Amino acid sequence: MKKSNLSDNEWRQRLTDEQYRVTRRAGTERPFTGEYNEHFEDGVYHCVCCDHPLFDSQSKFHSGCGWPSFDSELDQAGIEQRFDDSHGMRRVELVCSNCDAHLGHIFDDGPPPTGKRYCINSVALKFRSRSM
């Protein structure tokens, strides 16, 4: 897969201020404020920056953490994991494999069978319904 390599200025023009802050500067949206936190329609969640498919709605679950949570990614997503030592803790950051957008973090407190919780910023996602 060829990586998307837009300039910083091109990303600023393409994204809203909040999308840019979160995806290009590794920010975080406030908990319980995101469009997809309580969203449970049937479809696929894509990267807001490059439209790469990331998560199937069937892997989404209600974690109560304030951000959309998934127990697995799509096979073709290939989400990259990187250590993140910011904010005085060690976490694993999730980054879009196609455009390097910051998506969120992954934790080992999810439901079976994976035990994973992909904790994702709503603003890093766009949803496509299967009914369309």
Give the β-pairing of 69-70 and 80-84: unpaired
Active site annotation includes 65: no
Strands 69-70 and 117-120: antiparallel
Q: Please give the biggest Cα pair distance in the chain.
A: 44
Among 47, 49, 99, 119, the active-site one is 119
**How far is 34 from 32, CA to CA, in rounded Å?**
6
**DSSP-derived secondary structure letter, 58:** G
Amino acid, res. 58: Q
Helical spans, DSSP H, in 15-93: 17-25
- Catalytic positions: 119
